[in-house]
Structure 1
Amino acid sequence: MTASKIVNFRDIGGIPVAGGTLRPGIFLRSGQLVDLTPEDVDFLVNKHHLKEVFDFRSKKEIEQQPDTTMPGVKCQNIDILASATNSSASIEDMLLHADNITEGMLNTYEQLVLSESAQKGYHDFLTEALNLNEPLLFHCFAGKDRTGFGAALILKLAGASDDQIYADYLKTNEMRKASNEEIINSLQGKISAEQIKALQVALNVDKSYLERAFATINQHYGSFANYLTEALDLDENFQTKFKQTFVIPK
C-alpha cells in the first residue's frame, strides 16, 4: 500500500469541553495536501465526508505546491500571514530567519494575533465554519503554526481547557517527526549547517510559541472575549452560537 501523503492529520473533536463534548468529525487539521494518493482522497472524501478545505498558505506557497483536487470538496485560500512582517511560517521564511529562529517563531505568533490579514483570515474562517456546519479541513504548510493557532481558537471557543489546547498543539512534534526528517535529509548539503540547525527547531512547535500568542491577546485586548469582538470582529454572541452548534451537551 502506498504511504499516505497526509501529514500531521487529526480530528480535534471528540474531547470533553465545558458543557459537553466537541463534536467529532467536523474540525480536521493537517499539513498541506500535496500529491495525495487515491487512498488519501478516499480517506478524506468517503471516510471523513470532507466538504471544504481552508488553505492558510500564501499564494506563492500554493503555486509552488498546489493541493490535490478532490471531488465534491470546495477549497478556499485564506492567506493568514499576507500582511505580516518577518513571519517564519514557510520553509523559505524559516531559512531567512535562521540566525535567530526562536525569536522569529515568537514574532510569527504575535503576527498571528495582530496582523490585519490574520485577524480578517481567522474571522472569515470561523464565520464560514459556523455557517458550513459540515466536515472541514484547515491546513498550512506544516500544519503547525497558522493551523496550530487556528485549532487553538476553535478549542478555546468550544470551552476546552488550556491543558487540552496545549496537548493538541504539541501533538504536532510527534506527528511530523518522519516528515521533518525527510525535509532535513533532502536539504543536507544544499544549505548551511546553521540553516539545518534552525530548521530542526522551526519544523517543531514549542509551548512558548502558543503562550506568546495568548499573552499578546491579553496584552492588547485584555481578554479572549475582547479579542473575538475587537480583533476578529465577531458578533458578541458568536461564542454562544459556536458552542450551541458544535458542542454536544452533557
Structure 2
Amino acid sequence: MDDVTTDEQAPLRELARLASADNFRDVAGPGDGYPTVAGRRVRRGVFFRSNELQLTDADAATLAGLGITTIHDLRGALEVEAHPDVAVPGATWVHVEVSGIPMEMVSGLADVDAALRVMREVYVAFVRSPEARASYARLLTDLATAPLPQLFHCTAGKDRTGWAAALLLELAGVDRETILADYLLTNDVSSATREKYLALIAEHLGADEVAVYEPTMVVEPGYLDAAYAAVAEDFGSVDGYLRSGLGLADDVLAELRARLLA
C-alpha cells in the first residue's frame, strides 16, 4: 500500500478550495477525517473527488502539489469532448465512462415530479446497468491498485462521483447518516455553480422552468436512497453489490479498506 504519514496529512487538513472546481474535496471529509463505526478514521489525502476540471493554472498547480497520480474521468465522451480536463502535471488521465443524466430525458421535463423521477432512475442505473457496474468495478480496482493519491470526477461531481464516494465511505465503515451528510455537502459547496446554470435556464427557457430543472442540479436524500434500495433488492447489501454486482475480489476490497483507514 502507498502509505500516507501523519506529517504528510497535516497540510491537507485545511485543504484550500479550488476556485475553478468548487466541488473538489477530500473523500475522507474535513478535519481528521470521518470517524468509522469501529472507532477509526478515514485517512485524508488519499482519494479526492471533484466536478469537471476546468482548472485555472493556479488550481492545476494545487492539484499537482497534492501529488495526484491519476485522474479518473467518469463523464461520457460528449462531455469530455465539450469540456476536456485541464492537464495536471504528474497525473495520468483515465477515462472510465458512467452514464449520467440522459440529456434527451432532461430536455423534455414536464414538471418537478418528472425531474425527480429521472434522477431516481439515474441512481438505480448506477446499480443495475451492466455498463455502470463494469465502470465502477474498474474505478474501484484502480483506486485499490494504482499509486496514491488519486482523484475521480464527473461533470458536476454530485451523482456519478457521489455514488463512488458513498461506496468508499461504506467500505471504510462510516455510518450511513454521515455518508448522507457528506453526499449532501454538494448543495452547499457548489451553490455558486448551480445558481449560474439556473440563471441561464431562466434566461433561455423562462423563469417558470427554473423550479422544473433545479432537481437535476442538486442532490437529494431520495436519490441516494434509490440506489441503496436497488442494492438491497438486487444484491442484499452493499457488500453483496461490491462482490456480486461489481465482481470485486477479497484482495481488492481489503486493499481499499487499508488505504481508506488511518
Residues 231, 241 of structure 2: 8 Å contact kept: yes
Q: Is 1:37–2:59 an aligned residue pair?
A: no
TM-score by length of 2: 0.85
Query: Is the counterpart of residue 94 in structure 1 residue 94 in structure 2?
Result: no
One-letter code aligned to 1:31? N
Q: Supply the distance in 1 between the matched residues of 2:164 and 2:219 (Cα, whole angstroms).
A: 14
1:222 shift after superposition: 1.1
CA distance in 2, matches of 1:89, 1:177: 22
Cα deviations by residue, 1:78-114 (Å, 9 ceiling, x for unpaired): 1112xxxxx5266x65334454100000000000111
Find the partner of 1:63 among 59, 71, 81. Answer: 81
Q: Secondary structure at the match of 2:212?
A: helix
Is there any run of 5+ residues in structure 1 with no aligned partner, and where?
82-86
Q: Secondary structure at the match of 1:189?
A: helix
Q: C-alpha distance in 2, partners of 1:4/1:245?
A: 28
Aligned-pair distance for 1:178? 0.8
* Contact 1:88-1:97 within 8 A present in 2 as well: no
Aligned alpha-carbon RMSD (Å):
1.8
Q: Which residue of 2 aligns with 1:6?
A: 21
Provide the C-alpha distance between the structure 1 equivalents of 2:161 and 2:199, rounded to a whole number of angstroms.
Answer: 24
- Secondary structure of 1:32 counterpart: coil
Please give the alpha-carbon distance, in whole angstroms, between the structure 2 residues aligned to 1:169 and 1:98.
27
Which of 156, 181, 191 pairs up with 2:205?
Answer: 191
The residue aligned with 2:14 is none
**Deviation at residue 164 of structure 1 after TM alignment:** 1.4
Equivalent of residue 152 in structure 1, options 138, 154, 166: 166
**Candidates 44, 47, 51, aligned match of 1:27:** 47
CA–CA separation in structure 2 for the residues paired with 1:89 and 1:143: 16
- Contact persistence 2:49–2:152 (CA under 8 A): yes
Alignment check: 8 A CA contact 2:25 2:49 kept: yes
Q: Is the 8 A contact 1:88 1:94 kept in 2?
A: yes
1:220, distance to aligned residue in structure 2 (A): 0.6
Question: In the alignment, is the contact (CA less than 8 A) between 2:101 and 2:122 conserved in 1?
Answer: yes
Distance 1:188 1:4 in 2: 25
State the SS of the aligned residue for 2:136: helix
Q: Distance in 1 between matches of 2:151 and 2:50?
A: 7
Paired-residue identity, %: 32
Cα shift at 1:236: 3.5
Deviation at 1:62, TM superposition (A): 0.7
The amino acid across from 2:162 in the alignment is G
CA pair 7-124 structure 1, distance change in 2 beyond 3 A: same
> In structure 2, what is the Cα distance between the partners aligned to 1:10 and 1:177?
15
Alignment of 1:123-142 (within 5 A): 123-142=137-156
TM-score (normalizing by structure 1): 0.89
SS at match of 2:144: helix
Residue 256 of structure 2 aligns to which amino acid in structure 1? F
